[in-house]
Amino acid sequence: MTEFVRLEVDGGIGVIRLSRPPMNALNTQVQEELRAAAHEATAREDVRAVVVYGGEKVFAAGADIKEMADMDYVGMSARARDLSSAFDAVARIPKPVVAAITGYALGGGCELALTADLRVCAEDAKLGQPEIRLGIIPGAGGTQRLPRLVGPAKAKDLIFTGRMVDAKEALEIGLVDKVVPADQVLTAAMEMVKSYAKGPAQALRAAKAAIDGGLEMDLASGLAWESQLFAGLFATADKQIGMDAFVAKEKPEFTGK
């Protein structure tokens, strides 16, 4: 049994729920439990889409600084790889993932939100990468995922200054995709993934792999990667279900196979 992170599954949707009051500080144990939850969500066939949620008050306010304060270069050089790979396990869940952000998503909390495919946040949410104020930089993907999402200039602004952005600015710069009242964040995130949970799982997996993988390639390689994934879907049951339903002018009922 895990202490701070659990995977709750209902109706094809898996909710990775953080619960380490008061601020969901991301210490080593939380990071490893996140990794375990991500692997479980990846492996379970009854999980078709995922929501990452920190609760009604806060998403995650960052790393556990008390845990890091006395670490030296030797200690952190070994730990940093595990930290990055734990978050990467969430990013590599081959299913649609939405982050449901309440309260603060700062430092490692913002980096965790960046691992999702889409982000919905509360009207009073605050996001940012304040590591520079501690004399360090983001170490769990912030310097890599943030510029890919909002562009290098805006990412440098946020990382160089360490400032927080409110929900309005986060939406304007593309850091989040939807803003809702605080008490509707989880509901909105669940609604966003509901259609994915009933969708063609193999095609959704391929779409995510094509986009994420293609971003790391030149255009010619990305196009070749897309063609390979596209052709592979013609071996799936859902391809036949979808095309037969289209011809018959019916709504497809995908099986995920």
Q: Which residues form the catalytic set?
A: 63, 108, 111, 131
Q: 246: buried, middle or exposed (CB in 10 Å: 19+, 13-18, 0-12)?
A: exposed
Segment (H or E) for 9: strand 5-10
Question: What is the C-alpha radius of gyration for the chain, rounded to an integer number of angstroms?
Answer: 19
Going by C-alpha positions, the residue among 101, 157, 105, 102 that lies closest to residue 132 is: 157
**166: which residues sit within 8 A by CB, 6+ positions away?**
124, 125, 126
Instruction: State which H helix or E strand residue 240 sits in.
Output: helix 237-247
The amino acid present at 145, given as its one-letter code, is R
